[in-house]
Chains A and B, each alone.
Chain A
Amino acid sequence: MMDNLLSKKELLKLTGISYGQLYRWKREKLIPEEWFEKKSSFTGQETYFPKDKIFKRIEIIQKLKDTHSLEELAHFLSPELTDRLFQFEDIKKIIELNDCVLEMFAAGRGKQTFTYVDVVFMYAVSILKSEAHISEKVLSEIIKSICSYSEMIKGTNYYLKVIKLEIVSNTAYMEKAYTMVYQTQAQLFLDPHFKELRTFYLDELSNELKLKYDRGIF
């Protein structure tokens, strides 16, 4: 676990950046606060960073900081932390997003602009649609559920769990879907009536998108 963590002291030494630069980039949301992990060490409290992520991020910042404003870089590198909005037409170009899902999200939102977190949710739901057999009705319920809280989520360090409830009686069959978003990797125990459809880690999906589209949309 400690192999992919780098201490702040080592980071400053290896990259040659100053305290001022590191904290300014944190302030400007170029480096997510979550990457600053405080752990107890021999000398007291030390801050550690995810090694691969932080090196790559600092490399990009140093390369682009003379040609872009810090605000532009934040929109590009951490769109999940800013209130950058994406247009419907631009989002359509992302092939990972199912058109039907995109339409339903637009309808559920009531507008044609989306935050980055919305895009990641749409990716998750698109994956769910292609992998599981869900009816249109259940799909729209899932999307409506996500739309109710997605604006409050400012980051991708969350898990999205989609669960299904099936009620079978002599006279009727009812199928409903629910979603929940939570932060830690806690193990959730569900009532046996619920069946887990899928759990997504938004950060993983976000990184896939960023990797693929880093020169384009993001």
Chain B
Amino acid sequence: MFGRKAFIMGNGTVTENSYKKATVIGNAEIFGGNIKNLTNIGNSTISGELEADKINSIGNLCASENIRADIIKSVGESRFNKLFVKNLIVWGKVNKKSSTLNGEISVNTFEVMGHCKVKCNLEAENIFVSSLLCMEQELQCENVECIGSIEAPSINAGYIYIYPRATSKLNELYASEVIIKRTLKDCLKIRKHHSTWRHKLRRFKKENSIINIEIVEADKIYLENTRAKLVSGKNVIIGPGCIIETVEYIDSLSIIG
């Protein structure tokens, strides 16, 4: 049952079935089913419910029904209906354009290794950004670690780590713990568990710029190179390079020059 393979070069359809591997180079309509490994280079329309282990897409992927997958690697425009995926990786650029994500996406780990615009409801556990993530709505998740830039109206998360860059556009940060720090050494909680990070960290660009944020509210706060209007927290440490209008603290405040 799982030995079946489909290969389409040009235009074609992939009928609803169980496949070990399905490859599309061109344009195809995929009628759903069960595909272990799906590769799309071009335009694929998925018009039925699909369960996959791995989906690799370069180009446009459009799904009108639910998709469940373990890993999805995508560059280009993806339009989902309802997507449940463990690991979603967006990388690279197609025709110098950002990748875009549309639809209702429920993901465990979302890695943004290329420019990505999220125009939809995103439910995520962990989000790693090494390139650029643009959100139209508030970014909500358990852990965010960004060594690139994030553009979002606000972030509401459990743990937030951001490398301070002027290119990030954030208004409000709400979390249990917020760390904005110019070193990666002891603040990336999750990095050890993801091998892709080691690759990205080797090409990491250091910068000495200031990140602008309006409001930072969390229980534990450590800030460097941050300009903010209001910082409110339980235990607050203001590190070097910060320009803060108002700091409110409940338990402790340290200012490190």
List residues of A whose CB falls within 8 A of some B CB: 9, 12, 18-20, 23-24, 26-27, 43-45
Number of A-B contacts (CB under 8 A): 39
A143–B60 Cα distance when bound, in Å, is: 40
Query: Which A-chain residue is minimally distant from B173 (CB atoms)?
Result: A23
List residues of B whose CB falls within 8 A of some A CB: 140, 156-158, 174-177, 215, 217-219, 229-230, 232-234, 246, 248, 250
Contacts of A23 in B (CB 8 A): 156, 174-176, 217
Contacts of A45 in B (CB 8 A): 215, 230
Query: Which B-chain residue is minimally distant from A13 (CB atoms)?
Result: B250
Contacts of A9 in B (CB 8 A): 232, 248
A165–B174 Cα distance when bound, in Å, is: 49
Are the C-beta atoms of A18 and B234 separated by less than 8 Å? yes
Given contacts A20-B158, A20-B219, A27-B156, 5 further A-B contacts (CB under 8 A): A19-B175, A19-B234, A24-B158, A44-B246, A45-B215
Are the C-beta atoms of A20 and B218 separated by less than 8 Å? yes
A2–B250 Cα distance when bound, in Å, is: 24
Are the C-beta atoms of B229 and A19 separated by less than 8 Å? no
A77–B242 Cα distance when bound, in Å, is: 41
Within the complex, the shortest CB–CB distance from B216 to chain A, in Å, comes to: 10
A44–B231 Cα distance when bound, in Å, is: 12
Main secondary structure of the interface of A (DSSP, over half): helix
Are the C-beta atoms of B176 and A44 separated by less than 8 Å? no
A9–B230 Cα distance when bound, in Å, is: 13
Contacts of B230 in A (CB 8 A): 44-45
Within the complex, the shortest CB–CB distance from A81 to chain B, in Å, comes to: 13
- From known contacts A23-B174, A27-B140, A44-B229, infer whether A18 and B219 are also in contact, taking CB-CB under 8 Å: yes
A45–B250 Cα distance when bound, in Å, is: 18
Within the complex, the shortest CB–CB distance from B252 to chain A, in Å, comes to: 14
A23–B172 Cα distance when bound, in Å, is: 12
Within the complex, the shortest CB–CB distance from B132 to chain A, in Å, comes to: 23
- From known contacts A26-B156, A27-B140, A44-B229, infer whether A20 and B246 are also in contact, taking CB-CB under 8 Å: no
Contacts of A26 in B (CB 8 A): 156, 174
A18–B220 Cα distance when bound, in Å, is: 10
A143–B35 Cα distance when bound, in Å, is: 43
Contacts of B219 in A (CB 8 A): 18-20
Contacts of B177 in A (CB 8 A): 20
Closest 7 CB pairs of A and B: A20-B176, A23-B174, A18-B219, A19-B219, A27-B140, A20-B219, A27-B156
Within the complex, the shortest CB–CB distance from A103 to chain B, in Å, comes to: 30
Are the C-beta atoms of A19 and B218 separated by less than 8 Å? yes
Query: Which B-chain residue is minimally distant from A22 (CB atoms)?
Result: B174
Are the C-beta atoms of A20 and B229 separated by less than 8 Å? no
Are the C-beta atoms of B176 and A18 separated by less than 8 Å? yes
Contacts of B174 in A (CB 8 A): 19, 23, 26
A190–B175 Cα distance when bound, in Å, is: 46
Query: Which A-chain residue is minimally distant from B176 (CB atoms)?
Result: A20
Query: Which A-chain residue is minimally distant from B174 (CB atoms)?
Result: A23
Contacts of B248 in A (CB 8 A): 9
Contacts of A27 in B (CB 8 A): 140, 156-157
A9–B233 Cα distance when bound, in Å, is: 10
Are the C-beta atoms of B246 and A43 separated by less than 8 Å? yes
A45–B232 Cα distance when bound, in Å, is: 12
24 pairs across A/B with beta carbons < 8 Å?
A9-B248, A12-B250, A18-B176, A18-B234, A19-B175, A19-B176, A19-B217, A19-B219, A19-B233, A19-B234, A20-B175, A20-B176, A20-B177, A20-B219, A23-B217, A24-B176, A26-B156, A26-B174, A27-B140, A43-B246, A44-B229, A44-B230, A44-B246, A45-B215
Contacts of B176 in A (CB 8 A): 18-20, 23-24
